[in-house]
Structure 1
């Protein structure tokens, strides 16, 4: 049985953790550590088009911020799935543990599963929901009646 008193806080903790990890990977790792040109070069070296690096960086930074704030949580979690599925597939040949040479697939696979969990749970506590969006949805429901 789900404890409805604490479930919103569990979703909040998951949302903040996912958001912080995404932000760290996109901003700290890909932009500041590897640099954008370095990340583009890496993507090209493993057979992906260079522009994929920009999409991944944008997805990780933008998606991370959106999750931290609680903006469109379900949609953002689903939109981030291709990035993490791609990372899982890229690391699949390296073995299970992420400490393996070139990183294994355990971490991106777990991260993928947690995005699915977040999409199923929703925002959780303390999510920022723009009032104009909720007002728009309310007015359209009223119009439909």
Structure 2
């Protein structure tokens, strides 16, 4: 039987997955890939990293939503979130400030670490690779 902590992990996983997927698709369909690359270059990152980030966000979002390798995906997404934190850090605390503040990326970093600690939760894809994850106590 699934307990409430399993459902809590599921809700967190779905929220993070939707966030990653939405941000990746936003970069494709709203900002466009060339526009996103130009923004990355303007922030001091190599323009090509925009394509890597977009692919990683979309794949991470899908993986989290279905519950595939959740601990690994949550940790692997941290460099993207740290990059977002660095971009928004000079803008101040409130994300509604011009160019967005840093509290949202900081919260997502914390949420990702928590997800990595608690695991996939209920209704996660069972895959042979899942056996590589540490057993729950």
Could you state the TM-score of these two structures normalised by the residue count of structure 1? 0.86
2:82–2:105 Cα contact (<8 Å) kept:
yes
Deviation by residue 1:19-68 (Cα, 9 ceiling, x = unmatched): 001100001x1000000010001101111101110111011100000000
Task: Find the partner of 2:107 among 96, 110, 120.
Answer: 110
- The number of residue pairs the alignment matches comes to 131
Give the distance between the partners of 1:81 and 1:102, measured in 2 at CA: 21
Q: What residue number does 1:41 align with?
A: 38
Deviation by residue 1:91-116 (Cα, 9 ceiling, x = unmatched): 00000000111110010000110000
What are the equivalent positions in structure 2 for 1:9-20 lying under 5 Å apart? 9-20=7-18
Q: What residue number does 1:124 align with?
A: 121
User: Gaps spanning 5+ residues in structure 1: where?
Assistant: 139-145
Give the distance between the partners of 2:129 and 2:44, measured in 1 at CA: 40
2:13–2:64 Cα contact (<8 Å) kept:
yes
User: Gaps spanning 5+ residues in structure 2: where?
Assistant: 133-137
Could you state the TM-score of these two structures normalised by the residue count of structure 2? 0.91
Runs of 4+ in 1 over 2 A off after TM superposition: none
Q: What residue number does 2:78 align with?
A: 81
